[in-house]
Amino acid sequence: MVRDLTNGRTSCAIVGDIGPHDAPLGEMAIGLAVNLGGTNPNPRNGDGAPPGPFQYVVFPGSRSDPAWPLAPAQMQALASARLAQIGGWPAVNAGSGND
């Protein structure tokens, strides 16, 4: 799960991309950028990217359970359920200094 700490928007995401370290959108997929509040994001120059900074939660072992690929709605539901199982964003933020 990813949360934009500026606007509070959240989205599921897949970890597994390798690209140029200096790309304006970084490793963020265009769909993720839109879900987090970006407007017509441009990976070439970074225009339209969501404001950030971002907070990430990675769920160990989630790669193969269930098997990929999944539809975006399925991914969002599974990631939201996993986040709820650990206590949601408040549990993630406990002791981190993020609200």
Is position 7 within any domain?
yes
The count of domains in the chain is 1
Gap between the Cα atoms of 73 and 5, Å rounded: 23
Domain membership flag for residue 98:
no
Residue range of the domain that includes 82: 2-93
Give the model's pLDDT for residue 76. Answer: 93
Query: Is the pLDDT score of 98 beyond 80?
Result: no
Beta-bridge partner residues of 10: 3
Tell me phi and psi for residue 31, to 5 degrees. Answer: -60, -40
Stated pTM of the model: 0.81
Sign of CA dihedral 90, 35, 42, 30: positive
Does residue 72 have a pLDDT over 70?
Answer: yes
Instruction: Note the pLDDT tens digit of each residue in 5-45.
Output: 999 999 999 887 666 667 766 678 889 999 999 999 988 88
Within a domain: 88: yes
CA distance 78 to 85: 11
